[in-house]
Amino acid sequence: MPHRPLARALAALATLFTAVAGAVLVPGTAQAATVNYVALGDSYSSGVGAGPYDWSGCFRSEKSYAPLWAAANAVTSFKFPACGGAVTSDVINEQVSSLSTSTTLVTITIGGNDAGFADVMTTCRFESTSNCTNAVNAAKSFATSTLPGRLDATYAAIRNRAPNARLIVLGYPRLFETGWCGLFAMSSTKRQMLNEAADVLASVTAARAAAAGATFADTRPYFAGHGVCASSPWIKDVTGVIEAYHPNADGYRYGYLPALNAVTR
């Protein structure tokens, strides 16, 4: 005569095992996590250099890393207020309004325009080495003295509006390779100085992101070997006033997007 309590126990165990195995082996049976993603920041987030752009005046491109990531991850919602030319005060005054308590993910690039990115690049491209040196040194001084407070205020404003979100701060790449680049290119000395300034900015940004409890995604390793003067550049040279020294479409897809993937997977 069978031992009925034992038989019932074994049957229940088999049913539980089947349910667990089904949940593990059958994809898509578990409810997907809600991802409400908002992409803030400046031109390196809006996609300047990738084109084509929307009609917002912010030079937003669907080829930037943010819409690429949103499409690949089937997010629940996606907002894209990043705007070319933005400084930290623009993020605080105009962009964080897109955030809410339901926001679960925020990405941002910011700080380069505060440090005078456009003016420094123009000076180094068209003026003397001494003028370039002075411009770079002024930008580095600003980055270490004034910018930290501005970044802190920006990250605090994001936290205030989106307390439940994960904040990911992406850095800027080094823009140049420093080898031979032709007779009319920026000198290797200037290019090296500008790369060193990018390193200072990355160090400051990473430190303030960590202080805010955010994740810093360093893009420099991903762009290595693909700066201006590379055989396959992912950064545009002086091909246009707006797009100069910004990533091209490959830079966003193969530089920024993998950097973001590395900290979200």
Catalytic residue numbers? Answer: 43, 246
Asked whether the beta carbons of 59 and 47 are under 8 A apart, the reply is: yes
Q: What angle do CA 50, 53, 58 make, to 5 degrees?
A: 105
Q: Which two tokens stand for residue 257?
A: 């997007």
Q: What angle do CA 68, 215, 107 make, to 5 degrees?
A: 35
Asked whether the beta carbons of 50 and 63 are under 8 A apart, the reply is: yes
Checking phi first, is residue 18 left (phi over 0); if not, alpha (psi -120 to 50) or beta? alpha
Cis peptide before 221 (omega within 30 of 0): no
Sign of the dihedral through C-alpha 61, 63, 66, 72: positive
Asked whether the beta carbons of 40 and 229 are under 8 A apart, the reply is: no
